[in-house]
Structure 1
């Protein structure tokens, strides 16, 4: 029997976005960061906490739960909330689940947020893992995210001839966008020589291949498309939201280490939106490391498997990570990608605006360290 799926495409919209400054030492708690970002997002939409009846976040023991954020903002009895355990893999699923809650009538206005003192308090890149598989890896020195991703990057290099220069071109291109972004932590232009001259972290990754550990917060207001049209900003419709997973790559369950869970998820995502890679005007691809951008260009169908390196070198495809990404703007564990996609589709991205952008893809960690991944397709409301 065919599955009967609830179609919520274009029934909800992002009505507001908000940020705190991105810093290396916020000097405040994660609860304070969360509240500041939420208030900024509500102000952007022309709303107040009294309009909010839902809260959603994801965290790995490093942020403020809805049970703390709600009372702090005077939201004492939310009709719906989500406190999702997980890192960057589930970042876009949080937005998708909020959109589903709104479309189904469980809530009318949900704020999704992520707050983290990842530089001054909870270092995201430090060694350690809660995965039960860690007991089989730690004795061999495989303990940090960069080490895991480095193995898959090396596999891609050996199989397809991908080079460090291809990774460097991603870093250089994203830094050029960050130069135009007043929020970005890193706004000094870099060259390929700067990339190759940066110190090794774990081969084949150098310092400039790795995302920034950042203190900061980001928030998004999700409401019905109809209500969003009466608010302050141009609505950005949630046209597709998909999340899922598979066998963890760390267990050796994926036959080809150069293929991520995004390759399985992409057809579902595009199918919901009635779109394909050729319809994407701008893409925010999860860039914990430069390699993750390259492999997602393949797995989301912008180029064939194994052609990511030459594709990056050619400069073809949609503009990617126009805010500078996690490599140069800051790392807020996924939501600042969604916020930048919204900005591009509202046409308020300033000097980095992609002219006439109508459709955006935004993605989560593609499923290497944990098998889960998630992604969104957003459209400018007409």
Structure 2
């Protein structure tokens, strides 16, 4: 009989001990640095720390705020580690992984992970734009797609959604069920941009098409705001002010035949419905010693409704091709089989490139969510698709 595998070196070695967020709006009236400072200050205070306790910073590589900018405005006296990883929505889980690696290797004791953006009043990530790019110009490979009318991420995900419909019989109402679940949760969250703005399936179908088959409410919000978390060692977490949440496992992953560039080249895969989340899920569960049946609540990256549907399948909650029908059963709402995006997610809370999914995951494990899942002990949090992705499992500390 073979010997049992040793636990992964990062399993339960680190914990999130502080979370912070700004308000979410369409016009913050503040710089991205001011937003980052506000969220990070709140996270430090939530942990019961002072700036002197923070010696590491990890940022998204697309964030306009640099580590030295943030260290200066926060007054961090000692910075022994800084790093950046991932583009946009693919970054958050990888940012947490990098922070954990820094802490367990002794490069830092406590690390701030943040994302700050003026995603509506400033850079609008979902907007199509003209570019004059030479072939091989900036490594995005946009020059091979923009001239043919593929100019915005929503168009790419519309093609993926249509392919899933053709292959598996997925219906627009299945995507609508995902949008409605996120909106219902936002309606109970005073911090959400869509707080108090109820939506019915009729409202969903009445919304204008943007890139068929995707409608307005299949799209995430454009948001000004910031979120941050403080990560430290499990040992140090025992003495923090707020209830620590253990990082059971974290994983990043890409498919074997990963395409180059930023986003659009993912359309050149052999199958549009095959995503790196399937491989990442296998790796994550293996590292955690857990499986989909152990997950009580999930914060699934939802730049578009179709990304949730794909992840329902890839993370083992529905068979391949059955994600839409699973969503239509009501399973995704609090009280259902798998409540998701309990603060409203990117679709209805705010689009902070998925860092807000991590802060809500912490609230669920702490028992402080506005849509609390009873006895939630394991929360799955995923990052964006389609080029590469990441995910983490949060659990109550023991």
Structure-1-length-normalised TM-score: 0.95
Q: Does 1:375 align with 2:391?
A: yes
C-alpha contact (below 8 Å) 2:248/2:395 kept by paired residues: yes
- 1:128-148: CA deviations, max 9, x gaps? 586532111111100101001
- 1:309-367: CA deviations, max 9, x gaps? 111112333101000111100000111001100000000113x100000001000013x
Alignment partners' CA distance in 1, 2:7 and 2:291: 20
Out of 228, 242, 252, the position equivalent to 1:233 is 242
Alignment partners' CA distance in 2, 1:77 and 1:6: 30
Equivalent in the alignment of 2:334 = none
C-alpha contact (below 8 Å) 1:38/1:218 kept by paired residues: yes
| Coordinate RMSD, CA, aligned | 1.7
Equivalent in the alignment of 1:216 = 225
Query: 5+ residue gaps in structure 1?
Result: none
C-alpha contact (below 8 Å) 2:309/2:323 kept by paired residues: yes
Change (3 A) 1:95 1:180: same
Structure-2-length-normalised TM-score: 0.91
Please report how far the alpha carbon of residue 91 of structure 1 lies from its aligned counterpart in structure 2 after TM superposition: 1.8
Which 10-residue stretch deviates more, 243-252 or 329-338? 243-252
Runs of 4+ in 1 over 3 A off after TM superposition: 3-6, 128-132
C-alpha contact (below 8 Å) 2:381/2:391 kept by paired residues: yes
Query: 5+ residue gaps in structure 2?
Result: 132-137, 332-336
**3-state SS of paired residue (1:286):** coil
Alignment partners' CA distance in 1, 2:265 and 2:311: 18
Alignment partners' CA distance in 2, 1:78 and 1:6: 28
Out of 16, 25, 29, the position equivalent to 1:14 is 16
Change (3 A) 1:251 1:341: closer
**3-state SS of paired residue (1:56):** strand
Out of 325, 334, 338, the position equivalent to 1:318 is 338
Please report how far the alpha carbon of residue 250 of structure 1 lies from its aligned counterpart in structure 2 after TM superposition: 2.0
Out of 286, 291, 305, the position equivalent to 2:306 is 291
Change (3 A) 1:84 1:76: farther
- Equivalent pairs counted in the alignment come to 375
Alignment partners' CA distance in 2, 1:250 and 1:356: 42
Equivalent in the alignment of 1:306 = 321
Alignment partners' CA distance in 1, 2:374 and 2:86: 37
